[in-house]
Chains A and B, each alone.
Chain A
Amino acid sequence: MTETPPVDDWATDFDLFDDSYRKDPGPVWKELRETCPIAHTERWGGSWLPTKYEDIQAFVRMVPELSSRNPLVVSQPKEEQEFDPVLAEYGNSAPPITSDPPDHIPMRRMILPLFTHKAVAKHSAFVETMCHELIDGFIEKGSCDAALDYAVYIPAKTIAHIIGVDAHRVDEFIGWVRGVIELNAGDADERNKYNRILRQFFGELVTERKANPKDDMISSLLAQEINGAPVSKKAVVGMCNLMLVAGIDTTWSSIGSALLHFATHPDHRRRLANEPELMPSAMEEMLRVYSPVTMAREVTEEVQTGGVTFKPGDKVLMNFPAANRDPAVFDNPDEVDLDREKNRHIAFGIGSHRCAGSNLARLEMETALRVWFERIPEFECSNPDAVIWSGGQVRGPRHLPFTFPAQ
């Protein structure tokens, strides 16, 4: 990632990729919320950063003034996309996340039935078996990288299984997804390269399924209609692309952050190991405190709010992670309370773009933590200083050196 100068004033010059901010953004949000509360920066193409729960609840509902057509935290230059032959053939949108009314709801309704809690329950045995197999791979050693040997594979293998793509290619998928949304914020060419690879991959697969339908997700998406017309190939390519991109970095981050929390808070770890019935509230608390995802909106009509003016073309960040630490809504917001009963967190977003995969993400996270705790109830992080945090669109630990009694 490109080096950026240090930040003097977070209210007017914040940097999402600042090292200490990536490690622990809580103190910055607290100060901004009390003094600002909507910060601005010219860095990374320029954006606004709200910090209050109430503001974010309001902003997601300002449709179409705040459009989803460009939800990346750092935009890609438009010119390049227009002249790219791969993107011209297979499209560059990712419905429904990049859709606005009137297209959004019909696109979203195509995939929602695939991800209801009843529909995702069908994958629970697959996820559980996979978690056990991953642990089998390192439990005898007494050490592992909990991010790279465990957490990352859980969403990657699950979504490959659901979409019906070759499980042997998961390492490639992970590389492509990271290339698009995590590793190249400052390098548009690199990001475009991975975007093109993803589009080409799904483009070919969708063309193949269109000619020879199978009993799988891509074929059933292709068979659907929107307002009486068959859904376009481009839309299905975009959706498949989105499911990979939206499901991997995000869930990986949530599982990794939770494992790191328990590795570095032995009192909490012991409690969860001894009281597995705490899992539902503990998991929601992990999602709240370590919310991984920030989305963006592009301003299409001037909006005046809270003393600032959003101008057409501006980028406004949907800072769900900061909203989840707002003391106006959460008692002792920076404290982890595994018993927290009242937890109206918005880690999966809110409003019409609420994460369509949230039931699947919760199933994966719950299974990943439960199986880990059953097999490895005692564990610690051997070098907390070596933990690397990704930042920007998705925040999560990318290297987690763990040790535990070898078995």
Chain B
Amino acid sequence: MRVKVIADKCEGHNRCCALAPEIFDVDDYGTATAMNDGNVPLELEAKAKLAVENCPEYAIEYVKD
């Protein structure tokens, strides 16, 4: 699984970081990025899905390779 944060949509709610700190980080202005190029290890897939489903801006997407 791979995910990415659409920077234009992200408004810094920090839900992704709270639910999946292993995957997401935020900068000083709250804008999130997916670490490790968005690659999600198998054991964290459920957490990544939670982040996607809780982002109030619909800013996190799955990347299809």
Contact = CB atoms under 8 A, between A and B. Distances in A.
Contacts of A346: 56
Contact of B55 (A112, A284, A344, A362): A344
B26 A117 contact: yes
Given A109-B29, A113-B28, A344 B53 contact: yes
Contact of A112 (B17, B18, B28, B50): B28
Nearest to B19: A280
Contacts of A274: none
Contacts of B53: 341-342, 344
A interface, size bucket: 20 to 34
Interface stretch (A197-205, A352-360, A384-392): A352-360
A116 interface: yes
A348 B57 CA distance: 12
Nearest to B10: A354
A363 B8 CA distance: 26
B54 A358 contact: no
Contacts of B30: 112, 116
B14 interface: yes
A343 interface: yes
Interface in A88-103: none
A112 B56 contact: no
A109 B55 CA distance: 21
Highest count of chain A CB atoms <10 Å: which of B12, B17, B29, B55 = B12
A112 B12 CA distance: 9
B28 A344 contact: no
Contacts of A112: 12, 28-30
B44 to A, nearest CB: 15
A354 B56 CA distance: 10
Contact of B13 (A113, A352, A354): A354
Contacts of A343: 54
B56 A345 contact: yes
A351 interface: yes
B11 interface: yes
Contacts of B11: 350-352, 354
Contacts of A109: 29
A358 B14 contact: yes
Given A342-B54, A345-B56, A346-B56, A116 B26 contact: yes
A344 B56 contact: yes
A354 B12 CA distance: 8
Nearest to B57: A350
Nearest to B21: A117
A36 B31 CA distance: 36
A359 B54 contact: no
A338 to B, nearest CB: 15
A117 B19 CA distance: 13
A228 B15 CA distance: 33
B14 A117 contact: yes
Contacts of A280: 18
Nearest to A345: B56
Interface string A316-355: 0000000000000000000000000111111010111010
A27 B14 CA distance: 31
23 contacts: A109-B29, A112-B12, A113-B28, A113-B29, A116-B26, A116-B28, A116-B29, A116-B30, A117-B17, A117-B18, A280-B18, A284-B54, A341-B50, A341-B53, A344-B54, A344-B55, A345-B56, A346-B56, A348-B13, A351-B57, A352-B11, A354-B12, A362-B18
